[in-house]
Structure 1
């Protein structure tokens, strides 16, 4: 089986519970893709075709765990499970799992009793980092900026998380200037 944008779109349609939900998730996804591709143009040695496809799938778990659901934090793990069941390679599964926030640490899962398997969910490859960054800069289908994101994390999760977000942003800027 080929793993490309068209197959990703078909899979999104398959798992969408209804047209309205599909359109909302895809509006967000296309906004994330636009930012991810802008950033990708500035970074060497990355797989653009992978980014185009993986961005489409990064929130497939939202169809089962939408933003208003109690366990919505698990949508990344749920997305990875869907891709695994559908035979998609692990690198796509990892994007789903690791794009939440700027990554979730095992210690935070345990400390905050989050409904996730206890392990680190950290974007590691350049492609994972780009997609996570672009996702963070997109609220629904609107672009925001780094300062707003850091402030949002500060208000919601505290200073430590805001600093982690700031360091993540610095990592992206370093990748751009390599």
Structure 2
């Protein structure tokens, strides 16, 4: 069992609630959380930790403020691709190692060490692919929502558009996404 946390309280520790970054992060995270919890609720036979999924889904993008992404009011110095690893570092410091793994492993359908090295991604050199069902559910739910203007925040992407996007990242990503569609939809 994981340490329990109030996600909004923790987000407010790092974000000004009056900022656009806070608004974007919380709306996006609420959408991802709702989708993830819908999956959890449809599968009671999996005996998943619903409270953990709710908390981790709300916190999965906590590291965005440390990145250089002015379109979402984030004015840090790191490349956006690092937001998961940066958020994981924050959550580890907060005593939330299990939540940190969700941050680290949620980008796209996950990022393998092979992809990091092959593509030259500015990321730590380690496997960052979701492993547990809870991690996979949050990662999958995150695929359906973007961060940005109100339309991007509130419109759920179609499975077909997501398949096309994953196809662009390679066969492994597409296969992971398709397997999740079979399992979660």
Shorter-normalised TM range = 0.7 to 0.9
- Would the aligned equivalents of 1:35 and 1:134 in 2 still touch at CA under 8 Å? yes
Taking only aligned residues, the RMSD between alpha carbons, in angstroms, comes to 2.1
User: For residues 96 and 50 of structure 1, what CA distance do their matches in structure 2 show?
Assistant: 13
User: For residues 67 and 149 of structure 1, what CA distance do their matches in structure 2 show?
Assistant: 22
Summarize the alignment of residues 15-164 of structure 1 with structure 2, pairs less than 5 Å apart. 15-17=14-16, 19-43=19-43, 44-65=46-67, 67=69, 71-88=79-96, 90-140=97-147, 141=153, 142-154=155-167, 158=168, 161-164=169-172
User: For residues 28 and 123 of structure 1, what CA distance do their matches in structure 2 show?
Assistant: 20
Aligned residue pairs total: 169
User: For residues 66 and 30 of structure 1, what CA distance do their matches in structure 2 show?
Assistant: 23
User: For residues 96 and 108 of structure 1, what CA distance do their matches in structure 2 show?
Assistant: 18
TM-score for the superposition, normalised by structure 2: 0.82
Change (3 A) 1:78 1:70: closer
User: For residues 105 and 97 of structure 1, what CA distance do their matches in structure 2 show?
Assistant: 11
Change (3 A) 1:166 1:50: same
2:167 pairs with 1:165: no
SS at match of 1:138: coil
- Would the aligned equivalents of 2:67 and 2:83 in 1 still touch at CA under 8 Å? yes
Change (3 A) 1:124 1:112: same
SS at match of 1:33: helix
| Deviation string, structure 1 residues 31-80 (Cα, Å, up to 9, x no partner) | 11111111112222211111000011100001212545761000000000
User: For residues 95 and 145 of structure 2, what CA distance do their matches in structure 1 show?
Assistant: 28
CA apart distance, 1:108: 1.3
- Would the aligned equivalents of 2:66 and 2:83 in 1 still touch at CA under 8 Å? yes
